[in-house]
């Protein structure tokens, strides 16, 4: 069993896995198997009846994928977790045990454009809905909660603008209303922030980003603090009431692992948002160097942001690590090691200058991703946030004159040189 009191970098290398007892394999093997042999009929029955923990079928659990979920849970200080097929899948998996037709969530208006679309459009097909609010306006957050609200949702460091959320304040509101706070910690990673320590109940990740770190995997993870009392009210019947498919088992009776076991036994069983073992293996290898990479990401981002803030063509830089940022003081409390490596710049030349900048960059890769070892760039208003209305784009920090930068771990002078030549071509100073 992992000693979760160990340091971050030790957990990043060792948590969630012991050497294979049959072979002594030190690295987590890729268990490329669909199914697992039962010892006997009684063993199989106990597994299917949730009386014993083990492996049945890889849509539910797989040793490689399980090791990843356990490692992220250890890094986040969580009771348990599940890994699934993408960050978007992780968000649905987080909501699935909590929601029902007619129920809603209250979400930050500063979210990744795809998340806003998922919450404002797609979840309506389940009979769910979302209200978007400025999480700096705590009175508005509180006012948006009604008797059908089942969760608050936010990002630690918002994509694309690098805005830092006051997790402690939102957690207080969630606790007062008896609902969980769900935090997308993709951009911060557990290296910079462990939202559970600020009162979050559930934490979600797109493992596609910094956890893997090299642009090779699509995956997601949900971890549970294990501290929320799902039976304290009648708001969460999936967890607090008997489950017919398991002969009346009440998941809340499983204590800190209630949410995790429900997500495996019901969520993955029926939604099938399963992560593949090879993808999990790549992410496990990426996590081993997460702390080292984040140090370089942050150091580079700070240097680049400081340089950009003084450039004539740049109207504004949203990096929360700059003293000029409205999020600066909050960042010292929520992400004291650094404000991450994702931020936006507003160009004086407007939309056209943004398009020219993206086209002129050479070292930066123009892709719809973030958190890679490589420096990445995109113009959100015409891509990741294109589906949003103009006012939604502005609220999300993706106005037409904004470019999002994900600063990589290359030599920082080379990153700055590429931006310098591209800004010169973009004009608008």
Instruction: Tell me the per-residue pLDDT of 311-348, one tens digit each, with 9 for 90 and over.
Output: 999 999 999 999 999 999 999 999 999 999 999 999 99
Q: Which of 286, 312, 329 is the last residue of a domain?
A: 286
> Residue 355: which CATH number?
3.90.1150.10
For the chain, how many residues are written? 429
Task: Mark whether 276 and 296 lie in a shared domain.
Answer: no
Residue 72 reports pLDDT greater than 80: yes
Task: Mark whether 270 and 419 lie in a shared domain.
Answer: no
Q: Is residue 367 part of a domain?
A: yes
Task: Mark whether 296 and 199 lie in a shared domain.
Answer: no
User: With bands split at pLDDT 50, 70 and 90, how would you rate the model's confidence at 387?
Assistant: low
Q: Which of 251, 286, 321 is the last residue of a domain?
A: 286
Instruction: Tell me the per-residue pLDDT of 183-201, one tens digit each, with 9 for 90 and over.
Output: 999 999 999 999 999 999 9
Least confident of 27-31, 157-161, 168-172: 157-161
- Predicted pLDDT of residue 172: 98
> Residue 54: which CATH number?
3.40.640.10
Residue 239's domain comprises 8-98+180-286
- Predicted pLDDT of residue 212: 97
Q: Is residue 122 part of a domain?
A: no
Q: Is residue 21 part of a domain?
A: yes
Task: Mark whether 307 and 397 lie in a shared domain.
Answer: yes
- Predicted pLDDT of residue 245: 87
Alpha carbon 88 to chain centroid, angstroms? 9
Q: How many domains does the chain have?
A: 2
Q: Which of 286, 306, 338 is the last residue of a domain?
A: 286
Task: Mark whether 256 and 362 lie in a shared domain.
Answer: no
Tokens of 100: 């029902």
List CB contacts of 97: < 8 A, sequence separation 6 or more.
236, 238, 239, 251, 259, 262, 263, 266, 267
Alpha carbon 196 to chain centroid, angstroms? 13
Are the C-beta atoms of residues 11 and 35 closer than 8 Å to each other? no
- Predicted pLDDT of residue 79: 97
Task: Mark whether 203 and 310 lie in a shared domain.
Answer: no
Task: Mark whether 376 and 267 lie in a shared domain.
Answer: no
Residue 308 reports pLDDT greater than 80: yes
Q: Is residue 217 part of a domain?
A: yes
- Predicted pLDDT of residue 1: 43
Q: Is residue 106 part of a domain?
A: no
Task: Mark whether 257 and 297 lie in a shared domain.
Answer: no
Task: Mark whether 280 and 321 lie in a shared domain.
Answer: no
Q: Is residue 73 part of a domain?
A: yes
Task: List the Cα angle 280/67/246 in 5-degree steps.
Answer: 105
CA 361 → CA 32, 161, 214, 338, distances in Å?
A: 40, 20, 20, 26
Task: Mark whether 414 and 307 lie in a shared domain.
Answer: yes
Task: Mark whether 272 and 305 lie in a shared domain.
Answer: no
Instruction: Tell me the per-residue pLDDT of 103-139, one tens digit each, with 9 for 90 and over.
Output: 999 999 999 888 999 999 999 999 999 999 999 999 9
Task: Mark whether 36 and 81 lie in a shared domain.
Answer: yes
């Amino acid at each position: 069993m992992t000693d979760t009191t160990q340091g971050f970098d030790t957990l990043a290398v060792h948590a969630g896995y012991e050497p294979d007892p049959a072979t002594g394999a030190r690295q987590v093997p890729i268990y490329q198997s669909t199914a697992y042999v039962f010892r006997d009929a009684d063993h199989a029955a106990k597994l299917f009846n949730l009386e014993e923990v083990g492996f049945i079928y890889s849509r539910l659990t797989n040793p490689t994928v399980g090791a990843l979920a356990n490692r992220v849970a250890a890094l986040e200080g969580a009771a348990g977790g599940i890994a699934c097929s993408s960050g978007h899948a992780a968000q649905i998996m987080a909501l699935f045990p909590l929601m029902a037709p007619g129920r809603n969530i209250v979400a930050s208006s500063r979210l990744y454009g795809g998340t806003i679309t998922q919450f404002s459009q797609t979840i309506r097909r389940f009979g769910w809905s979302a209200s978007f609010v400025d999480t700096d306006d705590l009175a508005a957050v509180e006012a948006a909660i009604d008797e059908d609200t089942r969760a608050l949702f936010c990002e630690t460091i918002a994509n694309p603008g690098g805005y830092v959320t006051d997790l402690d304040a939102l957690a207080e509101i969630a606790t007062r209303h008896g609902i969980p706070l769900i935090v997308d910690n993709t951009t911060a990673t557990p290296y910079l922030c462990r939202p559970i320590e600020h009162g979050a109940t559930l934490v979600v990740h797109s493992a596609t980003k910094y956890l893997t770190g090299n642009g090779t995997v699509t995956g997601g993870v949900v971890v549970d603090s294990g501290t929320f009392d799902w039976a304290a009210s009648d708001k969460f019947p999936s967890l607090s009431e008997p489950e017919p498919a398991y002969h009346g088992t009440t998941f809340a009776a499983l204590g800190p692992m209630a949410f995790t076991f429900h997500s495996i036994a019901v969520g993955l069983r029926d939604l099938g948002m399963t992560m593949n073992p090879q993808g999990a293996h790549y992410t496990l290898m990426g996590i081993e160097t997460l702390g080292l990479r984040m140090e370089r990401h942050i150091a580079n981002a700070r240097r680049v942001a400081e340089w950009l803030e003084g450039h004539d063509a740049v109207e504004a830089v949203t990096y929360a690590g700059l003293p000029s940022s409205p999020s600066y003081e909050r960042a010292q409390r929520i992400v004291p090691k650094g404000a991450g490596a994702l931020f936006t710049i507003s160009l004086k030349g407007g939309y056209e200058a943004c398009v020219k900048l993206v086209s002129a960059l050479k070292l930066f890769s123009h892709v719809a991703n973030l958190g890679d070892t490589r420096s990445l760039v995109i113009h959100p208003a015409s891509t990741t946030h294109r589906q949003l209305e103009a006012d939604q784009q502005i609220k999300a920090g993706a106005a037409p004159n904004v470019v999002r930068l994900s600063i990589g771990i290359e030599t920082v002078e080379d990153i700055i040189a590429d931006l310098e030549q591209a800004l010169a071509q973009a004009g608008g100073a």
